[in-house]
Structure 1
Amino acid sequence: MSSTPSETRIPSVYRKSYARLPRILDVPNLIKVQLDSFQWFQEEGLRQLLEEVSPIKDFTGNRLELSFTGYEFRIPPDWKTEQACRQRDQTYSVPLYIRAKLLIKGTGEIKEQDLFWGDLPLMTARGTFITSGTERAVVSQLLRSPSIYFTIEEDATSGRELCHAKLIPSRGAWHKIFYK
């Protein structure tokens, strides 16, 4: 075992290592799992979800049947980049259209139409979402709109009701207020 440091050349950085092992391990791309998962959701997950809920039949099962046969993301001509969404306090998203097929069983008539399903927020290359111009990294931060949320829970030890209030601003830290 040597007590002299070894030198490793990394582009524009010299590292001195006092480790017993001469090799420096590469830092893994920790965001890759999130990016791959979101890509799978866009390419396969939505398709599987539509297959799972299709067909939807009327309450008798004999008159109407609605099926979802596909989907597509349509990029509008005025589509905004990540930077533009941050500057204009907009959500970085893309419109999602679902292909729907309605079968009228009595006549055998089939009607097909593309339906606007909503705007799907897009994940940035850093694994974040831009919502109303604010970049968010945690999914739970996306679920709540700016507002005040009140909840009442029963304390497990005393059996008393505990009141909570969450103040969620459009930007900045969330605040919790507890009242017994």
Structure 2
Amino acid sequence: LREVPDKIDLMDVSPKQIVSVAASLIPFLEHDDANRALMGSNMQRQAVPLLCPEAPLVATGMEMEAAKYSGQTLFAKNAGVVTSVTSSQIVITGHNSDKDSYPLMKFVRTNQGTCINQRSTVNIGDRVEPGQVLVDSSATEQGELALGQNVLCAFMSWGGYNFEDAIIISNRLVEKDKFTSIHIEKHEVEARDTKLGPEEITRDIPNVGEESLRELDETGIIRIGAKVDPDDILVGKITPKGETELSAEEKLLRAIFG
């Protein structure tokens, strides 16, 4: 944008204000096609935090600012010495023996079902200055936004296996969990009073084998720490049903087995 200086009354604080935060994180944005830049900025908003975040080697300088104002990183308010570091809290003692406590979020579920897990970047005995990074989150490394991984890419055809949107990755990326992410799902169940009687949360579910109920506790709820697979029972619940007309076969079975 060019204009005669004496005709300019107002100006942006930064040239990056022309584009959004997501677009300002794309390196060499001015050389990209507009449609591809739009796609890139949208994909960054859809990114999920990885198990092992890695800050980008090629950056624009906005990564620190984006992470800072995301609310998921913590910075030292005052100078001091780190006197305590646990998985849930950092304590820094200042020059006047004043203590600053910084609580950490551990495995908190987001609205998108992803996981926020803050990790300390300092150790006991470290001296910190105001504004220094104390905590990294699920999508930051050393205070910088880290949405992906630094991998070696090749743009080529590979026997048709990477046709259109398909991507081929190496075994090493899988084995080292480079693109593994943690998701937290929340399931709720209600026991209501019906016209035929109250519903009941119980482990005693009719016509269900013991193998399917092995991970439920005595109240009928899945135990903490249980590993579940698709279609596994999480909560046992029975609902009263009205009597229906039985077939001859069902009447015989009921007469025999009760």
TM over 0.5: no
Structure with more of its chain in strand, by fraction: 1
Compare relative contact order (CA 8 Å, sep 6+) and give the higher one, 1 or 2: 2
> Taking structure 1 as the reference length, what is the TM-score of the superposition?
0.25
Q: Which has the larger radius of gyration?
A: 2
> Taking structure 2 as the reference length, what is the TM-score of the superposition?
0.19
